[in-house]
Amino acid sequence: MTNLAASLVQNLKNLNAKERDHLMRFAYLGATQEYEKNEALWLSDAMKAALEPHLSKDHLDKEEEKRRCVFAGMDYHLDWLYAALIRTCKGEESGPLDDGSECSDDSLRPIIGIQEDLDLLVVYADDQNRVEILCIEAKGDASFNKVQLARKLTRLDRIFVASGAKKNSDWLKCKFLLIAPKAPSFSNCLDFVKDAYPYLANESVSIGRDDDFFVPLKGFPESLTKVTRTSEHPSPTDTNGKRTFTHWKITKRPTKR
């Protein structure tokens, strides 16, 4: 791993306070080393086999076999990703940083102070100073929400522009992937969501354009049940006229995909 990739990984590690990520790595991968010393144990072999065909084909050469996963973080906050990218692009790894960036749309600026995240953030690097970030969203029985995806693609694009990462596309690439038990009906993420947010119609937006964006979620149950609240008949109501739930039952969970 080059110094540039190592700097990005260290910046991502410095910000990763997500306890679920550390718990799952310990529980499922058996990671018992200190976080800073964990250089190899990031993803299972099955997960790497599923992701690697989706990596960029721009630099396929004899060095391809040296491309490897160097970081993975579950529920990784977009605020953290932006801070890690801007520090890496400016050659910094620690200390306060004020980039002075502004955005007229406060709800979708690079740093917004809420826990909006990616289900999984994965970083691959090779020995030729090339890094690729996979931004992954997952669904189980639910369908992908157009507005939610539009918001996330918008923020990600602004993050890569504002951090300077987009200007460094010769060494740093980013790809958006969806993981679910069944493939969605749309051909790429950007076409699916661009009418939900006008910014995404801009031709300069690059994230979400890939047509090989889908990864099958192996092992997800084909049939599930759910707990549903019910009411007596006729439905009792409270003083405000709202329905009061008094019972529950187990029903078959419909597939929304």
pTM, to two decimals: 0.86
Who has greater pLDDT, 172 or 257?
172
Do 171 and 227 fall into the same domain? no
C-alpha to C-alpha distance for 127 and 92, rounded to whole angstroms = 21
Do 32 and 116 fall into the same domain? yes
37, pLDDT greater than 80: no
Do 132 and 203 fall into the same domain? yes
Who has greater pLDDT, 89 or 193?
193
Looking at 97-216, list the stretches that DSSP marks H as alpha helix, in order from N- to C-terminal side.
146-162, 189-193
Do 152 and 230 fall into the same domain? no
Task: Name the domain count of the chain.
Answer: 2
The Cα-based distances of 19 to 30, 73, 81, 178 in angstroms read 15, 10, 17, 23
- Which of 33-37, 205-209, 242-246 is modeled with the greatest confidence? 205-209
Strand partners, 177: 136
Crossing angle for the helix pair 146-162 and 78-89, to the nearest 10 degrees? 20
Please tell me the predicted confidence (pLDDT) of residue 253.
84
Do 228 and 148 fall into the same domain? no
CA angle centred on 219, ends 55 and 125, rounded to 5°? 20
C-alpha to C-alpha distance for 4 and 244, rounded to whole angstroms = 58
The DSSP secondary-structure symbol of 66 reads: G
Range of the domain at 242: 221-257
Tens digits of per-residue pLDDT, 8-26? Answer: 999 999 999 999 999 998 9
Do 174 and 253 fall into the same domain? no
60, pLDDT greater than 70: no
C-alpha to C-alpha distance for 167 and 163, rounded to whole angstroms = 9
Do 104 and 135 fall into the same domain? yes
